[in-house]
């Protein structure tokens, strides 16, 4: 089973559209017989993605560090909950278990997870797709900053992008169709790059 990892907030955010989108993403993952890998909590958007998968009968792997298990309250409905000793072990396992990454709105934890896996891709340690869902422009400042980094000569991607961008859940649905059909191609989403 191909597994999709989501990075997203342990908060819900102000706009209810974020929670709705998170839940729908979970349902889309399950309906394509893909598995979810995520941070294991039941709080915020991360919990809503897991709810969406679970309520559609899908497979969820939650990976949570022991000290957060009580704070983020490990999700009781997940198929498998791994309790790790440290945050770094948690991230390592999330990365190892997953075939692709989808980034929804979130805070510093989401940024940290996204930047680390993108950096590893930049270093050639993996080639797994990392798709930033720029829902209602939520990640526009980050995408602009990445473009600024490229323009200022601090990121040399050549012809190989390190992140992909989707603007709508429909684009994510098309992408997940590709994954479910055995293609990990990112043809349905745009690379975050310029020259």
Q: In terms of C-beta density within 10 A (0-12 exposed, 13-18 middle, 19 or more buried), how is residue 84 classed? A: buried
Nearer to ligand AMP, 110 or 165 (CB): 110
- State which residue has the least CB distance to ligand AMP: 109
Nearer to ligand AMP, 8 or 186 (CB): 8
Nearer to ligand AMP, 41 or 161 (CB): 41
Q: Which residue in the set 11, 56, 73, 169 belongs to the binding site for ligand AMP (CB under 6 A)?
A: 11
108 Cβ neighbours under 8 A, 6+ residues apart: none
Confirm or reject binding of residue 106 to ligand AMP (CB under 6 A): yes
Cα gap 29→87, rounded to integer Å: 25
Q: Which residue in the set 62, 109, 129, 161 belongs to the binding site for ligand AMP (CB under 6 A)?
A: 109
Cα gap 155→191, rounded to integer Å: 14
Cα gap 95→93, rounded to integer Å: 5
Confirm or reject binding of residue 9 to ligand AMP (CB under 6 A): yes
Nearer to ligand AMP, 26 or 39 (CB): 39
Tokens of 44: 């915020």
The answer to whether the CB of 80 falls within 8 A of the CB of 53 is: no
Tell me which residues touch ligand AMP (CB under 6 A). 9-11, 39, 41, 46, 68, 72, 87, 106-110, 112-113
């Amino acid at each position: 089973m191909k597994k999709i990892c989501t990075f997203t907030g342990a908060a819900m955010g102000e706009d209810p559209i974020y929670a709705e989108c998170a839940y729908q993403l979970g349902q889309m993952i399950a309906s394509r017989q893909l598995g979810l890998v995520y941070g294991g909590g039941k709080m915020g958007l991360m919990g809503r993605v897991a709810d969406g998968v679970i309520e559609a009968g899908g497979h969820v792997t939650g990976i949570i560090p022991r000290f957060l298990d009580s704070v983020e309250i490990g999700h009781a409905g997940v198929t498998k909950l791994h309790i790790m000793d440290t945050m770094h072990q948690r991230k390592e396992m999330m990365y190892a278990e997953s075939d692709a990454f989808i980034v929804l709105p979130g805070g510093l934890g989401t940024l940290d997870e996204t930047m680390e896996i993108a950096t590893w891709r930049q270093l050639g340690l993996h080639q797994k797709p990392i798709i930033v869902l720029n829902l209602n422009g939520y990640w526009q400042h980050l995408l602009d900053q990445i473009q600024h980094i490229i323009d200022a000569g601090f990121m040399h991607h050549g012809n190989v992008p390190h992140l992909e961008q989707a603007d709508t859940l429909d684009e994510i649905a098309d992408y997940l169709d590709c994954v479910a059909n055995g293609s990990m191609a990112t043809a349905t989403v745009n690379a975050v790059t310029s020259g």
